[in-house]
Amino acid sequence: MDAAAAGQLTPESVAADDTPPAPRTRRSLSAHGWATVFGVVAVVCLAALTGWLGFRAHQSQQAQSQRSQFLQVARQGALNLTTIDWQHADADVRRILDGATGEFYNDFARRSGPFIEVLQQAKASTVGTVTEAGLESQSADSAQALVEVSVQTSNAGETEPVPRLWRMRITVTRIGDHVKVSDVGFVP
């Protein structure tokens, strides 16, 4: 058995261990390597930008959809309030209440009986047409709209319908999956 195999140091083995390792040469990237790195970085940046722009476009579309829904409910609420016929006042009042919520619902429900009586006694009918509408303000689950309505009113004592122009400030509120009218005020 030789000394190196037995774990003993010999002058040859000591000399072999003392030699410093050969210096590592640093390889620089070739033009092809740099092009690959640049390409990967560019693809990652473009993917991130595309994802961000897609997210922002989705948010914008959702906000526009919500604005449209709020405005449509306000317009329909104005039509419901201004299109009433004494011959089917109960159904017209039910339609108003179906689209209402909160304190407005409670007030209108409480006053609906006397309102129907007055309509039927006067044999009054109104037909509303929305002429202008726009949102004044909006939050995550409610909005306030200004709605202008042209209303033709007729009753038993008049031969010609009387035109009127009404402006209403209508607040709409999201309740679960539905948006309903929660407040109505007339604007002079």
Hey, where are the domains in the chain? 36-186
- Per-residue confidence (pLDDT) for residue 22, from 0 to 100: 61
Q: What does the pLDDT profile of the chain (188 residues) look like in tens digits? A: 555 555 566 656 555 556 666 666 667 878 888 899 999 999 999 999 999 999 999 988 988 999 999 999 999 999 999 999 999 999 999 999 999 999 999 999 999 999 999 999 999 999 999 999 999 999 989 999 999 999 999 988 777 888 999 999 999 999 999 999 999 999 98
Q: For 133-136, which contacts have Cβ atoms below 8 Å and span 24 or more sequence positions?
A: 133/71, 133/74, 133/75, 133/78, 134/71, 135/67, 135/70, 135/71, 135/74, 136/169
CA 49 – CA 95 distance, rounded (Å): 48
**Burial degree of 119 (CB within 10 A; 0-12, 13-18, 19+):** buried
The CATH class, in words, for 36-186 is alpha beta
CA 82 – CA 92 distance, rounded (Å): 10
pTM: 0.73
- Per-residue confidence (pLDDT) for residue 82, from 0 to 100: 96
Contact 80, 99 (CB under 8 A): yes
